[in-house]
Chain A
Amino acid sequence: TQLLEQSPQFLSIQEGENLTVYCNSSSVFSSLQWYRQEPGEGPVLLVTVVTGGEVKKLKRLTFQFGDARKDSSLHITAAQPGDTGLYLCAGDSWGKLQFGAGTQVVVTP
């Protein structure tokens, strides 16, 4: 059972378009993390957000943590084929990561 709900489940866009992935939970976490996972590999940490209302930018990726620390979003500007992958959000509950089911993003040239 996934306690974190991610939407959409699948997203297919053209290179250069923008996209937003959402992560929502009824629980409050000490921090929330975003990962990208490619086939046959483990998840790779993109960012950790800790403070409610926090916004972090990583090149073309913008991460936002909701004021109540229950929801988060990931926005990608001018997506590139290299952004293709499974995007996972995870809430940190005292060292135990609880993951959403992920959003599969496909960016076509």
Chain B
Amino acid sequence: DAGVTQSPTHLIKTRGQQVTLRCSPKSGHDTVSWYQQALGQGPQFIFQYYEEEERQRGNFPDRFSGHQFPNYSSELNVNALLLGDSALYLCASSSRGYGYTFGSGTRLTVV
């Protein structure tokens, strides 16, 4: 049974560019949450998607947006990249708030 799959695993972008990260949830899970983890910090909640809608949002600017598809997979988009956006981006899936399972993350480096 596949867990949470994230792609790509690593990414290097230039300031001002846009990036799209992808996440496939664990089988049976219908909720996807995205987190940003800076070096030496715990993960910070970006937003959560359920039934293809954004249900909750953390303290992140509108440059961060997302989408959930009918098959429950999700994308995280970041526009106008800043150096400070460099981090590990984690996707977590769950079913009705239970069984949080994290992917291995996408390491984004902005240069």
Residues of chain A touching chain B, judged by Cβ–Cβ distance below 8 Å, are: 2, 4, 33, 35, 40-45, 88, 90, 92, 94-102
Interface segment among B13-21, B65-73, B75-83, B96-104: the answer is B96-104
Residues of chain B touching chain A, judged by Cβ–Cβ distance below 8 Å, are: 4, 31, 33, 35, 40-45, 48, 55-56, 58, 90, 92, 94, 97, 100-105
Minimum Cβ distance to chain B for residue A19 (Å): 19
Contacts of B104 on A, CB cut-off 8 Å?
Answer: 40-42
- By the criterion CB–CB under 8 Å, are A95 and B33 in contact? yes
Minimum Cβ distance to chain B for residue A51 (Å): 16
Contacts of A92 on B, CB cut-off 8 Å?
Answer: 97
Contacts of A33 on B, CB cut-off 8 Å?
Answer: 100
Decide: A2 near B97, CB < 8 A? Known: A43-B90, A95-B33: no
Chain A interface, DSSP helix/strand/loop, else mixed: strand
Contacts of A95 on B, CB cut-off 8 Å?
Answer: 31, 33, 48, 55-56, 94, 97
Decide: A96 near B102, CB < 8 A? Known: A42-B90, A101-B40: no
A-B contact pairs, 18 of them (CB 8 A): A2-B42, A33-B100, A40-B104, A40-B105, A42-B90, A42-B103, A42-B105, A90-B42, A92-B97, A94-B56, A95-B33, A95-B55, A96-B45, A96-B56, A97-B35, A101-B42, A102-B41, A102-B42
